[in-house]
Amino acid sequence: MLDPFAPATDAVRAALLDIGRPGGVMDAQDALTFDPSNPSAGGPVALITNLALSTDNPNNPAHTAGTTFMGQFMDHDMTFDATSPLGLQTEPTTSPNSRTAKFDLDSVYGLGPIGSPQLYDPNDPAKFLLGFGGLFEDLPRKMDFAPYPADATAVIGDQRNDENLIIAGLHCAFLKFHNHAVDHVRAQGVSDPTSVFLNARLLTTWHYQWMIVHEFLPLFVGQPMVDDILLNGPRIFAPKTGQGFIPVDFQSGSYRFGHSMVRPSYRANFTGDPNSPFGVAPQFFGLIFDPSQHPEDGGGAAFTDPGDLSGGTRAPRRFVGWRTFFNFGDGSVKPNKKIDTTISSPMFTLPLRAIPPHTPPQSLPQRNLLRHVTWSLPSGQAVAKHLGVPVLSPDHFSELAGYGLGLDTSTPLWFYVLTESGVTQTSTMTLVPSPVGPVGTPITSTGLMLGPVGGRIVGEVIVGLLTADPSSYLSAQPDWQPILPRRNGTTSGPFQMIDFLAYAGVDALR
């Protein structure tokens, strides 16, 4: 048990709030405002198309934009803490995890057709309900059912998967993937309803787990780290079978690296959905979050179709064109931001609706840093020493020295992990569907993936949760290969996210 990075004093809390405040040392100061007289100077479109605006918040050429949201989806699948108070020391064992500590898609399946019947099609309980019966690519919402004509609350296993438009679209893709897996199982001659559901769920879950191990974990921590953990076993995290849990240094420290990858804005889609009952809408660019669009944040009247990419609403343009987010080879994909201490500006003013307790602070960096006090997390330097890896010098944390609290030598783990990534050199990223070239394109830069502290924690916990789960493919059948068709029509070779989206039927150029 390592000591906390700092005492839980008012001075420490005040320093953390200042480090993570809007306009503070972590704020990218993105040009969020659109000026019609100078369209290239700022706003949602320019932040994507004008590379000069990314000088202080650089892109990550090794990641596509969708990597962020797959990481978020994975987080929502394995952990949910809605009770621990920010900045007040709390014993971790007293805060229950509302998700299973597994990659078992309980955030999608809930308690199954019997325990969560509202998620499933009453005419075919082996399949999920879809928004508008699947005619319009959206989550099922209360407005689809009487007596809720104006209530756009999603009817899903985890409401966090409707926090933004992209995570909602990803959840919808999982619903559709499962429904097609049901058709596949039935085509194999299985007819018993329970067996059909369970077989389709297993297929969906194992293909998802395969992508975690073979596509996304290498993007997060690098293929050499993945290989080392799989071949040589864990060094720090080895839960027994059936006893997986979420370490707080992973949950509230290292795994929150994904917040640094978020772009300030995205192109949600290209031309609209021609199958929508509302008709075709123009392509949709938007800030990931914009509180001015929401009345609970003082933004004026309620918007049924806000200008940002927040979730919780339905409109013709509010669906995802996945070619912006994953590399389908047509040149449309956009990159993530680098993993470093520079955070996109919208993350400092989250809408209250995007925060599970719906209470301030609305700065995500502030919330992340305060959790280090909540859980008495150790410093990054202490973890590095414990792991036997090089410790970053105080020079890397000069912006923290001025607080006079020793934060440059005993740094909050999350800040340390982001800094470590931002100064760690990387080389060829295999299995990367890179915007700058084909798989295996050499990319040497900083901030592409996690460094030795963050990478070890994230890699070992993700692999450890899979191996501790007796129903995972990595535990039950480690030599298993995906069997469902790839995008090219074959059933062999790597199975990646573009294949998953194609099988779900959401990969059209839209």
SS3 call for 275: coil
pLDDT for 104 equals 96
Rounded CA separation 237/235 (Å):
6
Which pLDDT tens digit goes with each residue over 66-102? 999 999 999 999 986 555 555 555 554 555 555 588 9
- Residue 248 reports pLDDT greater than 80: yes
Residue 307 and residue 33 in contact, taking contact as beta carbons nearer than 8 Å = no
pLDDT band at 433 (very low <50, low <70, confident <90, very high): very low
Structural domain boundaries of the chain? 21-345+419-504
122-129: list long-range contacts, CB under 8 Å, 24+ apart. 124/182, 125/193, 125/197, 126/182, 126/193, 126/196, 126/197, 126/200, 127/178, 127/179, 127/182, 128/175, 128/176, 128/178, 128/179, 129/155, 129/175
Give me the phi and psi of 236, to 5 degrees please. Answer: -130, -15
The predicted structure's pLDDT at residue 507 = 85
241 vs 358: which has the higher pLDDT: 241
Query: Please, what is the average pLDDT of the chain?
Result: 89
Element (H, E) at 285: strand 284-287
Type of residue at 113:
P
Q: What is residue 291's predicted lDDT score, i.e. its pLDDT?
A: 82
pLDDT at 89: 57
> How far is Cα 178 from Cα 54, in angstroms, rounded to an integer?
38
CA distance 425 to 302: 46
Assign 147 a pLDDT band (cuts: 50, 70, 90). confident
- Dump pLDDT digits (tens) for 265-283: 999 988 755 565 555 667 8
- Report which of 6, 201, 233, 228 is spatially closest to residue 108, judged by C-alpha positions: 201
Q: Are 453 and 389 in contact (CB under 8 A)?
A: yes
Q: Are 336 and 18 in contact (CB under 8 A)?
A: no
User: Mean of the pLDDT values across residues 35-41?
Assistant: 89
Kindly tell me the burial class for residue 8, based on how many C-beta atoms sit within 10 Å of its own C-beta (0-12, 13-18, 19 or more): middle
pLDDT band at residue 28 using 50, 70 and 90 as cut-offs:
very high
Cis omega (within 30 of 0) for bond into 361: yes
Residue type (1 letter), 131? G
Asked if pLDDT for residue 170 goes beyond 90, the answer is yes
Residue type, 305: D
Query: pLDDT tens digit string along 297-313?
Result: 666 666 788 999 999 98
- Give me the pLDDT at residue 482, please: 97
Q: Which pLDDT belongs to residue 169?
A: 95
pLDDT for the residue 413:
98
Contact 131, 320 (CB under 8 A): no
How far apart are the two ends of the chain, measured CA to CA in Å? 51
Q: 445, 64 in Cβ contact below 8 A?
A: no
Strand, helix or coil for residue 121: strand
3-state SS class at 9: coil
Does the pLDDT of residue 144 top 80, yes or no? yes
**What mean pLDDT do residues 232-238 have?**
95
- pLDDT given at position 465: 97
DSSP state of 111: T
pLDDT in tens, 455-490: 999 999 999 999 999 999 999 999 999 999 999 988
In order, the DSSP letters of 210-272 are HHIIIIIHHHHH-HHHHHHHHHH--SS--PPTT-----HHHHTTGGGGGGGT--SEEEEESS-
At residue 316, the pLDDT reads: 80
Rounded mean pLDDT, 404-425: 94
The model carries a pTM of: 0.92
Distance of CA 383 to the CA centre of its chain: 24
Least confident of 51-60, 129-138, 194-203: 129-138
Residue whose tokens read 């502030």:
366
Q: Of 265, 282, 351, nearest to 318 (Cα)?
A: 282
The predicted pLDDT at position 287 comes to: 96
Q: Cα separation of 203 and 491, whole Å?
A: 14
Burial (CB < 10 A; 0-12, 13-18, 19+), residue 56, is: exposed
> Distance between CA 13 and CA 17 in Å, rounded?
6
Helix (H, G, I), strand (E, B) or coil at 412: strand
